Amino acid sequence: MTRMIIIGPPGSGKGTQAEHISERLGIVAISTGDIFRTNVKGGTPLGAEAEKYMDAGNFVPDRITNKMVRDRLGEDDVGNGFLLDGYPRNTAQVDYLDELLAADEQTLDVVLQLTGDNEELVSRLLGRAKETGRSDDTEDVIRHRLDLYYDQTEAVVAKYAGRGILARVDGIGAMDEVTDRAMEAITSAQTATT
């Protein structure tokens, strides 16, 4: 059983790698971004509130995100482990997740950080915006999201690095090569903590 987080700046390939890694490990991938977009598309009250923040390139507030993650981690398919993609994004969410896991006598096994050059990340996201028509992927919004990532999320990375469960991998390159590097880093991190 593996309980893990994948983290990295927008455009670093978190979603793609989350799918491949979760398949290889036999665990469920939980993407907060996908859940937000599903709610927006479905016109739910949560979606309507989340959309305002997403379209501006801002993070959805903790009170909404924490409730959603708590509910999702309570579902049956997380029994064999999980891979969280897009959560936690700040240290308050780290503390909340710690409390959630501790309530079930669980802890995280590994936090995988994907890295990448900013200009490459912007280029990737602009390309994706053209392909998918995502309203939240304009160049200004992308650069704002990158700034938010470095301002807020890097503190999360530092916290997990301090616990000795952080594994860093370059997210730029061929998809399978990145997945292979990620799996090697996950294995090394889990071996180091056992």
Active site residues: 14, 89, 128, 134, 145
Residue 11 assigned ligand-binding role: yes
Residue 39 assigned ligand-binding role: no
Residue 173 assigned ligand-binding role: yes
Residue 181 assigned ligand-binding role: no
**Non-local CB neighbours of 94 within 8 Å, separated by 6+ positions:** 88, 156, 159, 160
Question: How far apart (Å, rounded) are the C-alpha atoms in residues 75 and 114?
Answer: 27
Residue 179 assigned ligand-binding role: no
Residue 89 assigned ligand-binding role: yes
Residue 58 assigned ligand-binding role: yes
Cβ-contact 36, 141 below 8 angstroms: no
Per the annotation, where are the binding residues for ATP?
11-16, 128, 173
Per the annotation, where are the binding residues for AMP?
32, 37, 58-60, 86-89, 93, 134, 145
Per the annotation, where are the binding residues?
11-16, 32, 37, 58-60, 86-89, 93, 128, 134, 145, 173
